[in-house]
Amino acid sequence: MILVTGGAGFIGANFILDWCADGDEPIVNLDKLTYAGNLGNLASLKDDPRHLFARADIGDRPRVESLLREHRPRAVLNFAAESHVDRSIHGPADFIATNLVGTFTLLDAVRGYWSTLDEPERSRFRFLHVSTDEVYGSLGPGDPPFSETTAYAPNSPYAASKAGSDHLIRAYHHTYGLPTLTTNCSNNYGPRQFPEKLIPLVIHNAVAGKPLPVYGDGLQIRDWLYVGDHCAAIRAVLERGRPGETYNVGGSAEQTNLEVVRTVCRILSDLKRGRDYAAQITFVKDRAGHDRRYAIDATKIRRELRWTPAETFESGLERTVRWYLDNEAWLDAVTSKEYQRWITLNYTAVPSTA
């Protein structure tokens, strides 16, 4: 069996659903259930013996150790994190606690467990850390995309906390020989993403007739990847990746934020034969320290592990918009009081004049 952390969140839940659709190996899902964790994401696995849920914090060492002893996983995949850049600007402490200290605690507990295994279990074991391209900082317009050898230059508290955790993973492989793997992926989108992130926020607001907030001039670039393609990349790295290596994952789908928002509006207009949603676009105050451009060079994972994305940006986005239109109950459930509090905190600024 494998142990997954953060499996009630966006990418972790998609990973578990895909995993269970594909085989019989059980999963232990260790998740703290923060505002971003939602067991409703895994409702279809309720009563399925392959999915064992444990509400726990990756920073709770005794609990992590006891789960490892009890279930004896052949691999641990760490998705658990505070994941939203804007929240890291308003309150960085939780990001340091979970992404840095929590990952350290998990990693060290896993090292202890791993050292008790017999060969060949020890050499077969894997610790896979799910990370981000944001650790590399921001690119200029003509710069080549991030590769695995690009120097780290994190700019937000979120990116810095993830960069720190990546360094710990590297050190645990180098120093102790723990068979680690790290993936650094670009922006994901798809079903079950919490509507504080750009794409689900825009879908949600568009349908509700609310403003579609675009930070600054909207010309910041992200390299978008459909979540199912990210999950397939993680499975490929888990099964075929070389211990100690890092793999960049991305869809080669660079888009400005304004292009993304306009494409969502066009798909919505086509699907709902509705109004001109683009008229709701509103330029608002820019994010502090906003990175201008991210882009991933995924040559290594494509060549070495024969991974390739199945969705284009257009096809993945259409699937995503359809999912949100078909799952209003899911959206209603996650847009709770805490969600309203966040929206008020982050979007109190008057529209910008940019």
Question: How many residues interact with ligand TYD (rule CB under 6 A)?
Answer: 12
Cα–Cα distance, 210 to 195 (Å, whole number): 13
Least gap, CB of 110 to ligand TYD (angstroms)? 27
- Contact between 280 and ligand TYD by CB under 6 A: the answer reads no
Binding partner of residue 85 among ligand TYD, ligand NAD, none, CB cut-off 5 to 8 Å per kind: ligand TYD
Residue 73 token pair: 């996983």
Residue 82 token pair: 């505070």
Cα–Cα distance, 321 to 316 (Å, whole number): 9
Residue 250 token pair: 């991305």
Least gap, CB of 133 to ligand TYD (angstroms)? 9
Q: Are 68 and 136 spatial neighbours (Cβ–Cβ below 8 Å)?
A: no
Cβ distance to ligand NAD smaller for residue 201 or 280: 201
Considering 158, 172, 247, 277, which one is annotated as catalytic? Answer: 158
Encoded amino acid at 253, one letter: A
Q: Which stretch binds ligand NAD (CB under 6 A): 27-35, 110-118, 318-326, 343-351?
A: 27-35
- Contact between 110 and ligand NAD by CB under 6 A: the answer reads no
In order of 98, 165, 175, the CA distances from 171 in angstroms are: 18, 10, 6
- Contact between 58 and ligand NAD by CB under 6 A: the answer reads yes
Least gap, CB of 222 to ligand TYD (angstroms)? 5
Chosen residue from 7, 12, 191, 213 binding ligand TYD by CB under 6 A? 213
* Residue 71 main-chain phi, psi, to 5 deg: -100, -15
Residue 102 token pair: 């929590």
- Contact between 198 and ligand TYD by CB under 6 A: the answer reads yes
- In three-state secondary structure terms, 19 is helix
Q: Are 162 and 85 spatial neighbours (Cβ–Cβ below 8 Å)?
A: no
Binding partner of residue 6 among ligand TYD, ligand NAD, none, CB cut-off 5 to 8 Å per kind: ligand NAD
- Contact between 59 and ligand NAD by CB under 6 A: the answer reads yes
- Residues classed as catalytic: 133-134, 158
